[in-house]
Amino acid sequence: MSAPTRRSLREQAATIGESPSAPTASASVPPRSTRRGLGRMLADALLWIAAIAGLACIVLVIVALTANITLIMFRTGSMAPTIPAGSVAVVQSVAASQVHVGDVVTVDREGSLPVTHRITSIAPGASEGERVITMRGDANAADDPYPYTVQTVRVVLFSVPGIATVIVAMGNPYVLGGLTIGATALVVWAFWPRSTKDPPARREPTGADR
């Protein structure tokens, strides 16, 4: 039996030094990098929110056109505390014959701004579809100075306090321009091509490389 050489002794020592629990080259490879980091996930979430908001706006526009629904803003507090100043109300145009005492309605006045108050009385008009109504603001102590002869009115369905200033601001060209730029930047960032290559695997030195 030949005596072991120096090279064979080194190989045996390297083999003995390796244990099943020692990290191998494959175990040292970092996990595969994901395409979506935190920023990409945030961008996707914002895009989904924008898409849902856009869809909701489309649905609301269709409903508004088909059901004669519009928005009105309250600049004064004549209907406080029910509808304080700065509120926005959703109103629907209906025939005057469909309203009742106690309803809050908007009446259009020729040459003046519309008035939105609560109906206090209803009387028949000159024609079948015409009504003569008196109204009073909830914050007022007396009825309006004169009755209103109407064939159609806009009934207040519900109101949201404090958002009139937001809606007015949305009509500002600077605000609209900023929103447009922000939305464009978000879309470009979300769909900008990103590298999908994984980082090179790091190889642990073995006993044979020492």
Of 174, 116, 188, the C-alpha closest to 148 is 116
- CA distances 153 to 68, 91, 93, Å, are 11, 9, 6
Q: Which residue has the higher pLDDT, 191 or 95?
A: 95
What percentage of the chain has pLDDT greater than the value 90?
38
Domain assignment present for 52: yes
Which pLDDT value is given to residue 160?
A: 92
Count the domains in the chain.
1
Has residue 135 got a pLDDT over 70?
yes
Strands laid side by side in the 131-136 sheet: 69-73, 88-95, 152-160, 104-109, 112-124, 131-136, 148-150
Q: What is the pLDDT of residues 1-53, one digit of tens each?
A: 555 555 565 565 555 555 444 444 444 544 555 555 676 777 777 778 877 87
Judge contact between 117 and 85, C-beta under 8 A: no
Domain assignment present for 29: no
Domain assignment present for 19: no
Which pLDDT value is given to residue 165?
A: 79
| Residues forming a β-bridge with 89 | 72, 159
Domain assignment present for 23: no
Which pLDDT value is given to residue 27?
A: 46
Q: Which residue has the higher pLDDT, 105 or 176?
A: 105
What value does the mean pLDDT take over residues 92-97?
94
SS (H, E, C) 136-166: ECCCCCCCCCCCEEECEEEEEEEEECCCHHH
What is the spatial distance between Cα 136 and Cα 103, in angstroms, rounded to a whole number?
A: 11
Domain assignment present for 163: yes
Region of poorest pLDDT, from 54-58, 150-154, 197-201: 197-201
Domain assignment present for 165: yes
Has residue 185 got a pLDDT over 90?
no
Region of poorest pLDDT, from 17-26, 147-156, 168-177: 17-26
Highest-confidence segment of 50-59, 70-79, 116-125: 116-125
What value does the mean pLDDT take over residues 167-175?
68
Q: Which residue has the higher pLDDT, 168 or 204?
A: 168
CATH of the domain at 169: 2.10.109.10
Has residue 180 got a pLDDT over 90?
no
Domain assignment present for 123: yes
Domain of residue 183, residue span: 46-62+71-190
What value does the mean pLDDT take over residues 155-165?
90
Domain assignment present for 138: yes
